[in-house]
Structures are given as C-alpha cells and as structure tokens.
Structure 1
Amino acid sequence: MKAIVVRHPGGPEVLEYTDVPTPTVKPGWSLIKVKGFGINHSEIFTRQGQSPDVQFPRILGIEVVGEVAESTDDNLRVGQKVIFIMGEMGRAFDGGYAEYVLLPNHQIYPVQTTLDWPILAAIPETYYTAFGIFRSLQVRPNERVLIRGASSGVGIAVMRLIKSIDYDVQIVGTTRSEAKVQLLQEVGFNEVIVTGNDLPANIGEFDKIVDLIGPLTLRDSLKHLVEFGIVSSTCQLGGQWTLDEFDPITDIPNNRYLTGFYSGDVSQYKIQQMLDFIQLHPLNLSPDKVFTLSEISQAHKYLENSQNLGKIVVML
C-alpha cells in the first residue's frame, strides 16, 4: 500500500510517500480502508520531534474516517463506516497517513451518517474538540463570546456551532494576520481583532472565552472575563504545552470559571451525539483545502505557515 513514512524528525520534506506492506490483522485489531483524514497541529509537533515518546520510523495521523476492510470483532462488519481518533494512533502505533491502517477494536467507532466523505473527514478531531468546547461554554442568548485563534479549524468550528443554535450572540475572533480579518468576517465572525499574546486594553469583557492559543495566553484571557463567565482553554496553538507556577486561587479571578476539553475522552455515544447535532443544525462543514496522500508535505507546509482558514483534509 501507499503510505507516508517519517524516518526521522524534521521539516515537511521528511514526509516520505512510499510503498509499505499492508498491515496484517491480529487479535483485537481491525484493518480499516482509509477514505480521508484531517491534518492536525499535533502531527506537525510529532514530525518535528516534539513528541518525546514517539519512535521513528512512524506513519503519522491521529484521526481517520473509512470503512472496515477486515476485522476480528463480530460487531464490526466489512464495509461499515467508522471513525477513529486519538488513542495513541500515529504515536505508539502507525496512524492514518496511509491507504490502510490497523487499529485496536475498542477504539473504532461505527457511525450512522449520510455526510459525504470529504465532509466527514473534516469532522473527527476538529469538530469533536469543538463540540466539547461548545457544550462546556453553556452559551446563552445575547452573550459576547471571544475565540482566540479564530482562523484555526477548531476556532471556526466552535464559531459555526454557536451560530447554529440561532442565539443572538456576538462572536469576536482574534488573529495575528491582518490578511485574515476580512476572511474571518466572511465566514461568520461579527468582529475580528488583530492581536498578539496580550489582548488590547479597550477590548472589554466577555461572557465566554475560547482560548485556543493555550497556556501562553491563558492568564491574559482570564483578565477579560465577566463575573461568572467561562474560559475554555483547549489546544496549544501558541506552542506552549503547560503553565508553570499556576495558582488557581490567585490566577483565576473571583467568580470566574476555567475549564478545558480533552479529546482523548472518546466514546461511540459522544461521537454519534456530535454527528446527530451536526446533521440537525445548519452548518458549513466544507474543508478549507483538500489534498491527496502524495501531497502531504504540501498540506503540512500549508498548515504550518498558517495559510489555512478552517480544516485541511486529505482524501484518498
């Protein structure tokens, strides 16, 4: 089969499009025919050697949509439409950057959906994370919501999920690129602000803040929250993974709430709940750009250079 193999850490050029043996099914695992997958920042980090537990050579890819090709589980029938996300895929074992992928049965999630493959490929990791954030925010009518890292796939997905519930909510997005302001307004943001790690002093306060930059900007986000407001810190687009010497008593202002969403907490029920919500609400799920498997290095460059406005997917 064709696959993308990374033999050692490095830039996009280490993503080698090559022939490898198709995996052989073993007890407790199933072979999935890959239809498509999204490209994620965490895969860039792994490719660069920033995931210390990952051993090379490795086929990357933390998510996939496809069909069961062969299974050792009687509940997974051949041809069944499935989703797989996280669970050390692409890290501890080979991931979805391939025509076929061997996956542990207990983390393969059969789904019922009429969505086309390119649309479904744009959903798993991005929309599962965005849907978790969306639910944790408990958005109410007439609220003011800030999304930091608005041009990311998750940022746009959260905005679209909030807009889909038809509340009169003002959604403000942040970006580091002046060139993305008009584009973000066109996809649905009510206001867009160009800013760095610190928000402008005159930006005011927000009922809810989605901080996708992560630990790098979390303390600053908490300063701009109304009383009884919620900050959801999920993703680490700022490149900083942890927040040192964080004191919840002094760093979280009184009567404000801090939460997050860990996309590794997955179940078939939660995935189907997300898909059912998406199919019942008016959402534009089209990916920002679609690549082929042989164009993986271009896809990484596109994401790494922040050229995207939404999800980047690869279709086979």
Structure 2
Amino acid sequence: MRAVVQHGTGGPEVLEVADRPEPTRKPGEVLVRTEAIGVPFYETQLRSGLIPAGPAPAVFGHEAAGIVVEADDETLLGRRVVTMSFTGGAYAEVVAASQYTLVPDTVTPEQAVAAAVPASVALALMHTADVEAGETVLVEAVSGAIGGYLARLAERRGARVVATAGKGKADIDHHDPDWRQKVPEGVDVVFESIGGPRAAELLAKLAPHGRILAYGLLSGEFPTFPVAGLIARGITLIGFGGPDAYGKRVAAVRAEALGLVADGTLTPVLDRTYALADVAAAHARVESREGVGKVVLIP
C-alpha cells in the first residue's frame, strides 16, 4: 500500500510517500480502506517536533474515514467508519484502528473526517463548559476547525459569540499582539486555544465566576494564568487534553457530532483536498493558516 512516512522532525519535506506493508489488525480492531484523511493543525506541530512524537521513520497521521474490510463483527464489513489513532498510521491506503465510529449514510467520507474529531472536541468542550443561553462566549481561532464548530454550537444554545481569527476572518484579529484588549468585558466562557503568557490578560475581561477551558496552544506555548487572579474573581480554569479528554470524553460524543452533521445542524467546512502524494503541500497549507476549515488528503 502507499503511505506517508515521517523521516525525523522538521518541515513538510520530512513526509514522503512510500510503499509499506498493509497493517495487520489486532482483535477488537477494524481494518479500513481509507477514502479521506484529515490534516489537523496539531499534526504540523508533531511533525515539526514542537509536540513530542514517537520514533521515526513511521507512518504518520491520526484521523481517517473509509470502508471496513476486516473486523471481528462481520456486520461491520462494507460499512463506512471514521477512525482516530493516537499512535499514527492514518496517512495510508489502509489503516487498522481500535477507536472507530460508524458514519451516517448521508455523510460523505470528506465530511466525516472534516467533522469527526473537531466537531466532537467542540461538542465535548461545550458540554464541559455548560454554556447557557444569554452567556457571552469568547472563541479563539474561529476560522480553525474546532473554533468554527464551537461558535456554531454556542449560537445554537443562545449564547453571544465573540470570535478571534487571523487576517480579517473575524472582528478581532489575534495576530495583533494586543488583541486581548479589544475583547469586551463580561465574558462568561473563554475557549482558550492560542496560549502563551499573555493569555492572563483575559482575566480582566471575564465576568465573576467565569470559566476558561484551555485546550490548545496555537502559539506553541501553554497559556499562563496567575492563581491569585483566578481566586480573586472566582474563575474556574479547566484543562482539556490528554487521553482522558480525547480518549474518553471526545470519543463518547463522536456519534452525536456526526448525527448533527447528518441532520444538517452542523455543516463541515472543507478548505482544500490534496492527493496523498501532495502531503507536503497540504501541511504547508495548514501551517499558512490562510484557509478556513479542514484540509483533507485523498488516498
């Protein structure tokens, strides 16, 4: 099979298409012939070495949708699923996965891979934040996959959304170093995905007893908040990440998220599709942050 192999850390050029043996599934896993593969921003950080990854060379990638060709349960054969792997292997024509979710018949593989992870992350974040009608919500990086779904889900609950993005894609341009000063006061919930030491400036913008959910680090740095500032305003800070969040809470709502896509509540946003051989261009596109929505590889 053709697969994308990561040779060390660095720029997009460390990803190369090569022939590799098809994976052998373990009991409980399904073997999937992929139709669409997601390219999320965090994978560019794994590839560059900003986030620690496993040993190389290895088949890269974590999110894919496709048709089940082998399974313990024969009723799964021929069904479309979306898969999530924490150990890589998704940038390939065939992937073995233990974590998978059935895709509704009306959802295409591109839509499935565009929505399955980011929409379920957004849904799990919304459940964790317990956003209520009438509240004001700050969504950072709204032009990204997760941020876009967060904004739509918050509006669906009757919340007021204040959004940031780069290059004129939202009212607040977070490329401006002082963008946090433009956030209105009285924010009830902050979905923090940019990070960095200046995240603490948002404390002055929060309503008493507001909530901060820290789930990303687009800046490459974790957000920093002084404990004294949290205590003084009664702010709740929730870290959202790791196996508990992504392996349990996010996985638990993936079918719900795909159902919202199927019934038209959520519309997946696709930026561009690339052939598997053009993986370097796909990564460059994601790193440019010029697009809106999901970049997808077609094997």
Give TM class, smaller chain.
0.7 to 0.9
Paired with 1:96 and 1:103, the residues of 2 have a C-alpha distance of 9
Supply the AA of the counterpart residue of 1:234. Y
Tell me which residue corresponds to 2:87.
Answer: 89
SS of the equivalent of 1:101 reads: strand
SS of the equivalent of 2:247 reads: coil
**Is the 1:4–1:18 Cα contact (8 Å) retained in structure 2?**
yes
Paired with 2:178 and 2:84, the residues of 1 have a C-alpha distance of 30
Tell me which residue corresponds to 1:77.
Answer: 76
Question: How much has 1:234 moved relative to structure 2?
Answer: 0.9
Paired with 1:28 and 1:119, the residues of 2 have a C-alpha distance of 26
Structure 2: gaps spanning 5 or more residues: none
The reply on whether 1:137 has 2:125 as its aligned counterpart is no
Change (3 A) 1:75 1:221: farther
Paired with 1:251 and 1:82, the residues of 2 have a C-alpha distance of 42
Tell me which residue corresponds to 1:10.
Answer: 10
Q: Report the TM-score when normalising by structure 1.
A: 0.82
- Give 1:152-231 correspondences, 5 Å limit: 152-165=144-157, 167=158, 169-175=159-165, 177=166, 180-181=167-168, 183-184=169-170, 191-194=171-174, 195-196=176-177, 199-200=180-181, 203-214=184-195, 216-231=197-212
**Is the 1:134–1:158 Cα contact (8 Å) retained in structure 2?**
yes
The reply on whether 1:30 has 2:9 as its aligned counterpart is no
The range that moved more, 304-313 or 47-56, is: 47-56
SS of the equivalent of 2:246 reads: coil
**Is the 1:109–1:267 Cα contact (8 Å) retained in structure 2?**
no
Supply the AA of the counterpart residue of 2:18. T
Change (3 A) 1:221 1:275: same
Paired with 1:251 and 1:267, the residues of 2 have a C-alpha distance of 27
Change (3 A) 1:277 1:139: same
Q: Which structure's residues are more often helix, by fraction?
A: 2
Supply the AA of the counterpart residue of 1:62. H
The reply on whether 1:298 has 2:297 as its aligned counterpart is no
Change (3 A) 1:264 1:216: farther
The reply on whether 1:123 has 2:119 as its aligned counterpart is no
Q: Give the length in aligned residue pairs.
A: 294
Paired with 1:279 and 1:26, the residues of 2 have a C-alpha distance of 31
Change (3 A) 1:130 1:199: same
- Write the deviation string for residues 5-33 of structure 1: whole angstroms up to 9, x where unpaired: 11222211111022222223444443211
SS of the equivalent of 1:151 reads: coil
Change (3 A) 1:164 1:19: same
Supply the AA of the counterpart residue of 2:205. H
The reply on whether 1:315 has 2:298 as its aligned counterpart is yes
SS of the equivalent of 1:127 reads: helix
The reply on whether 1:99 has 2:89 as its aligned counterpart is no
SS of the equivalent of 2:76 reads: coil
The reply on whether 1:286 has 2:269 as its aligned counterpart is yes
Question: How much has 1:222 moved relative to structure 2?
Answer: 2.8
- Write the deviation string for residues 187-215 of structure 1: whole angstroms up to 9, x where unpaired: xxxx4344326611673231221111135
Tell me which residue corresponds to 1:187.
Answer: none
Question: How much has 1:103 moved relative to structure 2?
Answer: 2.3
- Give 1:250-289 correspondences, 5 Å limit: 250-261=229-240, 262-266=245-249, 269-280=252-263, 282-289=265-272
The reply on whether 1:235 has 2:216 as its aligned counterpart is yes
**Is the 2:134–2:160 Cα contact (8 Å) retained in structure 1?**
yes
Question: How much has 1:80 moved relative to structure 2?
Answer: 1.9
Paired with 1:216 and 1:150, the residues of 2 have a C-alpha distance of 20
Question: How much has 1:99 moved relative to structure 2?
Answer: 0.6
**Is the 2:36–2:65 Cα contact (8 Å) retained in structure 1?**
yes
Q: Report the TM-score when normalising by structure 2.
A: 0.87
Supply the AA of the counterpart residue of 2:156. S
- Write the deviation string for residues 158-210 of structure 1: whole angstroms up to 9, x where unpaired: 11222334x2x3322123x3xx32x44xxxxxx43443266116732312211
Question: How much has 1:129 moved relative to structure 2?
Answer: 1.1
Paired with 1:217 and 1:280, the residues of 2 have a C-alpha distance of 40
Paired with 1:99 and 1:13, the residues of 2 have a C-alpha distance of 20
